[in-house]
């Protein structure tokens, strides 16, 4: 059995079931109006990594819709002015502590760098949950998201299979120190290792940024005369890489495998610019984190980790996501 398969069997299935139990329990409790007594108002803050990228704007929309289902919850959604600035995220957390919020939901820009801010929130008695991205310290109520190792493993396997298990490949990483990037990269590399005729030419970060993805790909196109496939851990970097390849007329030479679904990605699938992407249900990630915080504030225990299923999306799947 592969490492990815074993990890899925051992950890993810039970955690998915735990997450589903929580969701069902919560809905039933609210519908019945008896299990949770909401006699006071709660102030939640949701801190994303960027207010500029569609993925996090989609998470914010999901959070705002989910908040409508919670009695007496006031939600504020914010993010750093500079995308992926953990320093600004720390400042936002510190202000939230001063404001006396009841729960902080945060997708850390840096899984280690955010820890001191989380510890300050812990000391103030504020619940902290981390949808999408893990923190490497502090007292976290719950993390909600996909198994990012499995994301990389499945995407890497799909890439290798698409080129018949042989060829020159490149990997675009996210931001160093970010759990989602590190875990997906590990999964990709383990998938590549299954195929002895796969040659990993290079693997470098582009910080989840479209422009940096384009710049990185421009350098690679000058360096490598033959590229069969490009893997990436997020869609924005991939779209930059695709644009760079088109500018020099090499876009038909290689396939692209990436992650995350939005209108940009769906159009790229339809046009054949990318072969496949992955869907991680980011709206549900933040909704589960919010519901968990609400339950905890009312005395209920919640799972420390809650996994959502990953889905691979190909061109034929586009109508389902439109």
What DSSP line would sit under 42-61, residue for residue?
A: EEEEEE-S-SSSHHHHHHHH
pTM of the complete model beyond 0.85:
no
Q: Which tokens hold the place of 47? A: 């801190």
CA distance 130 to 126: 13
Mean pLDDT value across residues 82-89: 96
Q: Which tens digit of pLDDT belongs to each residue from 122-150?
A: 999 999 999 999 999 999 999 999 999 99
Pairing of strands 311-313, 277-279: antiparallel
Residues paired with 172 in a beta bridge: 204, 232
Would you tell me the crossing angle of helices 282-297 and 54-67 to the nearest 10 degrees?
Answer: 40
Number of helical H runs and strand E runs in the chain: 12, 12
Fold for 148-279, please state it.
Rossmann fold (3.40.50)
- Residue intervals of the chain classified under CATH 3.40.50.2300 are 11-146+281-310, 148-279
pLDDT at site 152: 97
Mean pLDDT value across residues 73-80: 98
> Is a pLDDT exceeding 90 seen at residue 96?
yes
Report the SS3 class of residue 157.
helix
CB contact at 8 A, 302 and 9:
no
CB contact at 8 A, 187 and 6:
no
Please report where in the chains the tokens 């008695």 appear, as a residue.
125
Kindly state which CATH superfamily the domain 11-146+281-310 is placed in. Response regulator (3.40.50.2300)
Mean pLDDT value across residues 173-178: 92
CA distance 176 to 32: 46
> Is a pLDDT exceeding 50 seen at residue 6?
no
Q: Which tens digit of pLDDT belongs to each residue from 265-283?
A: 999 999 999 999 999 999 9
Q: Which tens digit of pLDDT belongs to each residue from 19-65?
A: 444 444 444 444 444 444 447 899 999 999 999 888 999 999 999 99
Residues paired with 197 in a beta bridge: 166
Grade residue 321 by pLDDT with cuts at 50, 70 and 90: confident
Q: Which tens digit of pLDDT belongs to each residue from 215-263?
A: 999 999 999 999 999 999 999 999 999 999 999 999 999 999 999 998 9
Provide, rounded to the nearest whole percent, the portion of the chain with pLDDT above 90. Answer: 84
């Amino acid at each position: 059995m592969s490492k990815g398969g074993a990890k899925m069997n051992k950890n993810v299935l039970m955690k998915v079931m735990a997450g589903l139990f929580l969701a069902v329990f919560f809905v039933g409790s609210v519908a019945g109006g008896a299990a949770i007594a909401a006699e006071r108002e709660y102030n939640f803050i949701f801190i994303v990594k960027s207010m500029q990228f569609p993925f996090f704007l989609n998470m914010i929309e999901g959070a705002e819709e989910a908040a409508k289902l919670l009695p007496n919850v006031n939600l504020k959604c914010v993010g750093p002015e500079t995308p992926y600035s953990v320093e600004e995220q720390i400042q936002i957390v510190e202000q939230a502590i001063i404001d006396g919020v009841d729960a902080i939901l945060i997708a850390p820009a840096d899984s280690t760098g955010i820890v001191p801010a989380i510890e300050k929130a812990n000391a103030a008695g504020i619940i902290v949950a981390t949808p999408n991205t893990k923190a490497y310290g502090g007292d976290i109520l719950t993390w909600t998201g996909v198994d990012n190792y499995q994301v990389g493993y499945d995407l890497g396997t799909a890439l290798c299979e698409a080129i018949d298990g042989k060829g020159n490949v490149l990997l675009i990483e996210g931001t160093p120190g970010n759990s989602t990037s590190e875990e997906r990269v590990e999964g990709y590399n383990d998938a590549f290792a299954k195929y002895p005729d796969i040659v990993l030419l290079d693997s470098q970060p582009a910080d989840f940024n479209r422009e940096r993805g384009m710049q990185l790909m421009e350098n690679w196109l000058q360096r490598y005369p033959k590229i069969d496939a490009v893997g990436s851990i997020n869609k924005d970097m991939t779209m930059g890489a695709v644009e760079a390849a088109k500018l020099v007329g090499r876009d038909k030479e290689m396939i692209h495998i990436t992650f995350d679904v939005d209108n940009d990605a769906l159009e790229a699938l339809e046009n054949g610019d990318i072969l496949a992407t992955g869907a991680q249900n980011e709206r549900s990630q933040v909704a589960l984190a919010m519901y968990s915080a609400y339950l905890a504030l009312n005395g209920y225990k919640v799972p420390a980790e809650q996994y959502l299923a990953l889905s691979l999306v190909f061109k034929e799947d586009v109508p389902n996501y439109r």
